[in-house]
Each structure stands twice: as C-alpha cells, then as structure tokens.
C-alpha cells in the first residue's frame, strides 16, 4: 500500500499541500485530489458519498485522503477546507487573473499576473510558517561552525542569496554551485554544522545526494521545499515550507524564487535578532570593504 508521510501541519493550507503532493499520489488519490483542486467550492458542501461519486473514486479513498492530511475524518477535513476558502478571499487582481501567462496577454496583463503569482506564493509562506521550526534553524545557524547551503538550477540563486546574507553578518556560510564540490564539501561537515538544501519539488538527484552526505556527518539537515512528501523532506531533520504558484510550464518561475528568498530572509532576520550588536558590527565591516578605493593609501 502506498503510504505518505506529511511532516508539516496542513491546517490553513490544504490546497497548497494537495497541489504539492498531487504528482506523488497513487491513481485514485491523485484523481480525487485533482477533483478537489478544481471544484473547491463544491467539495465543502458535498458529503462523502457525493464527493466519491463526483471524483469517480471509492468512499474509502475520500476518508483515506483526509487521514493522510492528519484529520480524524472527512468532516474535520471539510470544515478546515471551508475555513481556508473563507480566509483566502481574493482581491480584484486575483478574481480576474490567472498566474499562467497566455498568448495574447499584453504587457500590463503579464505584469499583473506575475504580481499575483508572487503575492500568492509569499502568502502561502505566511500561512505555512512553523515558528518552532524557524527558531530551531535560526539558533542552529547562529551557533554553527559552518553553514553549507545549496540548490540546483534556480534554487541555487536563492541559496547564494542566503549565503551572502549570512556572510555579511559574520557567519561562515558556503554555497557550492557544482555538484562535485557540493559532495566533497558535504563530506567534511560535522555535528557542529548545518546543511540547508533548497529544492521546489524535493527530488533533484544532485540535491538529494549532497543532502544525504551532509546529513550522514551529523550536521543538522534543513530542507526548504514546496513538497512535504518529496524525498528531501523525508530525509530532513527540519522542513521549512516555501510557497509555489507555478503554471504547468512555468518551472523555476519568479514566484518560486520569491517564495524561497522570503523563507531565507526570515531565517536571516531571526539569526540577526539573536545578536543584533554583532550583526551590525560585522555588516559595517563588510560595507566598509565594499566602499574601499584600491587607489587610496
């Protein structure tokens, strides 16, 4: 039997979680999930029998999905779904626009669609914030001998962003961009270190291999991902969720990068708060270095 472990609470983000896990579900659960995502308003008024019939699945599949999402049963799932829909009232832009760019969209429409996608992604971050997990990561980063951050593709851009932010406040943060160097760097970590991997789907081969090597050294393994049931999340000691508002052909979209950077910025702000005096002092040193004129004596 196909089993899923969803390591984060889904209250307030059922739709986000279903979208993230949809591709990893077996056929019947995937069919049910697709129906729920496409008919959210209908789902909150249907009973188990009606929903099962509408989605062409058995009633047991409906109950199973609710339990996979950590609810006692369908009624609890339905109630939370209704609350989520009511709480996600859309503004005018969201009512008239979809985040997918279509042929024929003019520049103004494209600009507004991108704005909606980025806003939604960050809103998903806020709804998914797990304070305990963020503080655990921030404290570990603050105390770490070394922090190794990595990602492949556009996730590497977000990793570089966090590495630079931490360097500027005096922390030994590294970000290798080539897989060969990722693996060797990970092998030299220790229990005094932290490894942070960014991956939207959480299934990139290079990311998983580097993460596994880093975790094997005893370093705290932190995953920043949109997929709570991806392999990366399953391997991690701590999972930080980042939002996602991508169309089918918009992998590595600006909205995804914005959501990842938003999570990185939260980590950075919490680390700074642990010793603001030191952070300010080291930030001033780096600013001074950037302003130095090499021609000056």
Contact 189, 214 (CB under 8 A): yes
Three-class HEC string of 94-143: HHHCCCCCCCCCCHHHHHHHHHHHHHHHHHHHHHHCCHHHHHHHHHHHHH
Cite the DSSP H helix spans in 144-275. 155-167, 179-187, 205-216, 231-235, 254-274
Domains of the chain in start order, with CATH, are 14-87 (1.10.10.10), 92-120 (no CATH), 128-289 (3.40.50.10490)
Instruction: Render pLDDT for 209-250 as a digit per residue (tens, 0 to 9).
Output: 999 999 999 999 999 998 877 899 999 999 999 887 554 445
In degrees to the nearest 10, what's the CA dihedral of 195, 200, 201, 206?
-50
Give the burial class of 263: count Cβ atoms within 10 A of its Cβ; 0-12 exposed, 13-18 middle, 19 or more buried.
buried
- Kindly calculate the radius of gyration of the chain based on its CA atoms and give it in whole angstroms: 21
| pLDDT for position 35 | 94
In this structure, the number of other CB atoms found within 10 A of the CB of residue 128 comes to: 24
Handedness of CA 232, 30, 120, 80 (dihedral sign): negative
| pLDDT for position 293 | 66
CA contacts within 13 A on the Cβ side of 119: 14
CA nearest 214: which of 264, 136, 167, 146?
A: 146
Contact 155, 134 (CB under 8 A): no
* Spans in the chain with pLDDT lower than 70: 1-12, 87-100, 245-252, 293-297
| pLDDT for position 142 | 97
Instruction: Render pLDDT for 80-117 as a digit per residue (tens, 0 to 9).
Output: 888 887 765 544 444 444 456 777 778 888 888 888 88
- Counted residue by residue, the chain has a size of 297
In this structure, the number of other CB atoms found within 10 A of the CB of residue 129 comes to: 13
Q: How far apart are CA 172 and CA 282, in angstroms?
A: 12
């Amino acid at each position: 039997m196909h089993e899923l472990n969803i390591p984060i609470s889904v209250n307030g983000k059922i739709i986000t979680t279903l979208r993230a896990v949809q591709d990893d579900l077996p056929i019947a659960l995937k069919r049910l999930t697709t129906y729920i995502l496409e008919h959210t308003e209908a789902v909150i008024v249907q009973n188990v029998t009606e929903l099962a019939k509408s989605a062409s699945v058995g009633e047991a599949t409906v109950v199973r999905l609710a339990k996979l999402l950590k609810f006692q049963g369908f009624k609890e799932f339905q109630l939370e779904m209704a609350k989520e829909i009511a709480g996600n009232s859309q503004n005018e832009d969201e009512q008239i626009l979809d985040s997918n760019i279509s042929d024929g969209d003019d520049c103004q429409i494209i600009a507004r669609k991108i704005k909606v996608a980025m806003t939604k992604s960050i809103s998903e971050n806020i709804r998914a914030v797990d304070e305990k997990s963020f503080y655990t990561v921030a404290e570990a980063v603050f105390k770490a001998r070394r922090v190794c951050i990595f990602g492949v593709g556009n996730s590497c851009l977000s990793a570089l962003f966090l590495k630079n932010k931490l360097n500027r406040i005096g922390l030994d943060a590294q970000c290798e961009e080539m897989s060969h160097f990722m693996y060797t760097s990970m092998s030299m970590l220790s229990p005094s270190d932290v490894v942070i991997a960014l991956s939207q789907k959480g299934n990139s081969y290079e990311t998983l291999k580097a993460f596994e090597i880093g975790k094997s050294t005893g370093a705290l393994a932190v995953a920043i991902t949109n997929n709570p049931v991806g392999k990366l999340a399953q391997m991690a000691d701590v999972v930080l969720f980042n939002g996602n508002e991508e169309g089918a052909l918009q992998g590595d979209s600006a909205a995804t990068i914005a959501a990842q950077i938003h999570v990185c910025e939260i980590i950075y702000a919490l680390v700074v708060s642990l010793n603001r005096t030191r952070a300010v002092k080291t930030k001033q040193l780096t600013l001074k270095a950037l302003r130095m004129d090499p021609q000056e004596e």
